[in-house]
Amino acid sequence: MQVGRLAALGTILFLLAFAAEPALALPAEAPDDTWMVNGPVRSLERVGSTIWIGGNFTRLRSSASGGSEIAVRGIAALDVTTGAPVAGLHLPKVAGGAATVFDLDAGGGVLYAGGRFDSVDGSARRNLVAIDPADGRVLPFSAKAPTTFAVLADADGGAYAGKPHLRRSTASGARDHGFESQVPTVSPSSSNGPAILDVAFAPDGDVFVTGAFDFLNGEQHRVIAKLDPDSGEPRSWALGGALGTNPRGIDLFVDAGRDALFAAVGGSDFAARYRISNGALVWKIDTSGAAQGIAPFGADRVVVGGHFK
């Protein structure tokens, strides 16, 4: 999940229950003694015992002031047990303008980082880079993608990348021409700019995509669409319930065991649960500000974050 959607604004969280059961205990308010970075964090991705961190920062620090420092740029990593840097792990540096990593995703033995940058460790890598999560090496993959807000790693080493459109790259970084690039557009009355902001696998291997769109390649699909993973062709699947004015899908998570697709939406400002099988609305909670992140919290709750009152 892209936590930067929460970090850039005053974040508020609330819990929603799957069922009427006793509330789960929240984590302790006192933070663990872990290292930190000196700028906004946009994404976290766990690979084994390592938490990879993406964002816009230049230092990995042992404390807020003083202590030890490691020079980084947009990518860092910590050991999940100790909260300290991983000994011997190389941390690639992104560069170019306001270089920022917006999303991280791992699959097929590869960690992908998407964002806004021109190079990584001095090698040309435009907005999308593949990293070996075992040692931090930058891999030969080179896709020359547009600014990338959403990445989904495929099991075969390729990746789907979104914003302003969704494309699929092969393990080498070459564009997969068998996958039709999905270009989002919005209605003339919309105040949103078209965008694709999150991508997730469905249990059947299809790809869910969300963002600010009323059409994909000219065909009507709003907020969330379900795509054939090989051809990119949208399925005959649509969200139930009212979507409101100028909805902007920001975050998704899939719970296959409950036939549940959870969505955090801005613009119309709501969090909702839909059925994976047919898009039917199960419940919807209005928020007075954008819901920007949604994730599981224990067995019977979800946590929602964003900038809402």
* Sequence-ordered list of residues with C-beta below 8 angstroms from that of 30, at least 6 positions apart, any chain: none
User: What gap in Å lies between CA 236 and CA 30, rounded to an integer?
Assistant: 48
**Averaged pLDDT of the chain:** 91
pLDDT in tens, 200-259: 999 999 999 999 999 999 999 999 999 999 999 999 999 999 999 899 999 999 999 999
User: What gap in Å lies between CA 244 and CA 223, rounded to an integer?
Assistant: 11
User: What gap in Å lies between CA 183 and CA 193, rounded to an integer?
Assistant: 12
Which single residue is written with the structure tokens 């009507």?
A: 220
- Asked if domains 36-177 and 178-309 share a fold, the reply is yes
Concatenating the DSSP letter of every residue in 196-245 gives EEEEEE-TTS-EEEEEE-SEETTEE--SEEEE-TTT-PBPS----S---S
- Decide the pairing of beta strands 75-79 and 94-95: unpaired
CB 147 within 8 A of CB 162: no
Which of 27-36, 165-174, 200-209, 283-292 is least confident? 27-36
Q: Give the confidence band of 30 by pLDDT, cuts at 50, 70, 90.
A: confident
Q: Which CATH architecture has domain 178-309?
A: 7 Propeller (2.130)
146: pLDDT strictly greater than 60: yes
For residue 199, give the nearest of 187, 207, 189, 188 by alpha carbon: 207
Beta bridge partners of 106: 111
**H or E segment and range at residue 282:** strand 281-286
Q: Give the confidence band of 105 by pLDDT, cuts at 50, 70, 90.
A: very high
Mean local confidence (pLDDT), 82-101: 96
Query: What secondary structure letter does DSSP report for 175?
Result: B
Delimit the domains of the chain by residue range: 36-177, 178-309
Q: Give the confidence band of 33 by pLDDT, cuts at 50, 70, 90.
A: confident
Alpha helices in the chain (DSSP H): 4-7
Label residue 178 left, alpha or beta by phi (over 0 means left) and psi (-120 to 50 means alpha): alpha
Of the options 3.40.50.300, 3.30.70.3040, 2.130.10.10, 3.40.640.10, the CATH number for the domain spanning 36-177: 2.130.10.10
pLDDT in tens, 165-203: 999 999 999 999 999 999 999 999 888 889 999 999 999
- pTM score: 0.89
